[in-house]
Amino acid sequence: MTTPNRPDTGAARPSEGAARPGTGAARPGTAPSPAAVKIAFIGAGSVVFTQGLLAELFAYPELGHVHIALHDIDPERLATAEAAARHIAEVRGAKPVVTAHLERRRALDGAHFVINTVQVGMNEATRTDFEIPARYGVRQTIGDTLGIGGIFRALRTFPLLAALADDMAQLCPDAWLLNYTNPMAMNVMYLARATPLRRFVGLCHSVYWTVHDLAELLRVPFEEVSYLAAGVNHQAWVLRLERDGRSLYPLLDEAITADPQLRRRVRVDMYRRLGHYPTETSEHSSEYVPWYLRHESEVARLRLPIGTYLDIVEENTAQYERTRDALAAGSPLPVEESPEYAPQIIHSIVTGTPRTVYGNVPNHGLIDNLPPDAVVEVPCLVDAQGVQPTRVGALPPQCAALNRTYVSANDLVVRAAVENEPRHIRHAAMIDPATAAALPVERIWDLCDDLVRAHSQLLAPELRAVLGH
């Protein structure tokens, strides 16, 4: 999952007893009847995000009677999510079955779809990801996808994914896992390499919001824009942007020429030099290359807000508390639908309605000039047969070159977990562009040692070694 983005300002919109074996999941090539559908929300305590997903789910009349099984390990957040679900259903005129479970297996039993939004370690772990690197002089803005923050967020998340996959293999082996948890590409790569699951896709709305906001900037109705994007999550590229068969890139060039402030954004700077617009905010994009965060002049020129994600974390907490208090007082806050892919996928699989979404999946020949076992973001057809990625071919060579560095870091982080090799954690940090630009190699290893110590209880035991130089 990512925070939405705007091309004109780059500002991110704030986002967040043993069960019996399941028998209800649909067999491959078949779809369950709508009334029989069970959707498990893992990490439902991300209440605001859960509300948005439910509001869109219940907007489909065919999904008004589904079973919503909510799971979280925090009793208060789980109770808040349950109250929110019941309120949204009432407002939408839906009549779902809503159950809440502190025990994950009961939520998963017989599920057809599993939506994962878990953030392992929550706010405390996120603050650690920022504060310890900052002491070394490593600047981060978001810290959830690549870089030193992304590496350790992944290592905290992999044990959860392994346990979730094992439970799903027993209780709902044919269910689709729809993953929103970051770092998206690393998590999906881990699912592909280390778990028995084969029906999974990583979902992020960055492509949608990029094109939506480009259309807004260019004063073109979004519904009239056709586009193609591909690459890796948070570093995909808008390969085609058209209206009535004519490219909109010349209009974008004119807008950038006319507005000097647009040129003070990382993603616009990258577009001007690489020729294709990147699909994530300037804050995100700055962390995946070595050119910006290391230099005071670039931080100032491109208005990069160091540590901005910590503000988003605090706002997410405050928004949750407002929602909790409003529900308890009987005056719940209004909830708007959000154009997320999970409800669309569920609706398409259940009803057979074809549509295209963007998904993060193993490459397997989808993008020619990225490694075959990379996780790539490409358009996917969805219908009753499930999520079917489409082949894109080759990326522009300069775009693929950047993506390959990103993919190499992903590979080493996943290898660290799969091979129980703590040295690969350090190797990943060494080849990560922003970390390598900021520190000499000995300090990179020191930084990794400090983060291993700080996150030790959330890491797999084999990865807790402090290695020194």
Residues taking part in catalysis: 205
Sign of the C-alpha dihedral computed for residues 219, 225, 231 and 232 taken in this order: positive
From residue 4, how far is each of 15, 274, 368 by CA, in Å? 8, 22, 28
Q: Looking at 16-103, list the stretches that DSSP marks H as alpha helix, in order from N- to C-terminal side.
A: 47-57, 75-92
CA-closest candidate to residue 350, choices 113, 72, 94:
113
Q: Give me 190's structure tokens.
A: 């881990």
CA distance 216 to 250: 15
Sign of the C-alpha dihedral computed for residues 131, 43, 10 and 408 taken in this order: positive
Start-to-end C-alpha separation, the chain: 35
Q: Are 141 and 310 in contact (CB under 8 A)?
A: no
Q: Give me 255's structure tokens.
A: 């807008």
CA distance 33 to 137: 55
Cis amide leading into 183 (omega within 30): yes
CB atoms within 10 A of CB 328: 12
Q: Are 425 and 151 in contact (CB under 8 A)?
A: yes
CA-closest candidate to residue 54, choices 11, 24, 94, 101:
94
Sign of the C-alpha dihedral computed for residues 1, 171, 111 and 345 taken in this order: positive
3-state secondary structure of 228: strand
Q: Are 388 and 348 in contact (CB under 8 A)?
A: no
Q: Strand 67-71 to strand 97-101: parallel, antiparallel, or no bridges (unpaired)?
A: parallel
Q: Are 454 and 152 in contact (CB under 8 A)?
A: no
Residue type at position 358: Y
CA distance 186 to 151: 9
14: DSSP letter: P
Backbone angles phi, psi at 382, to 5 degrees: -125, 130
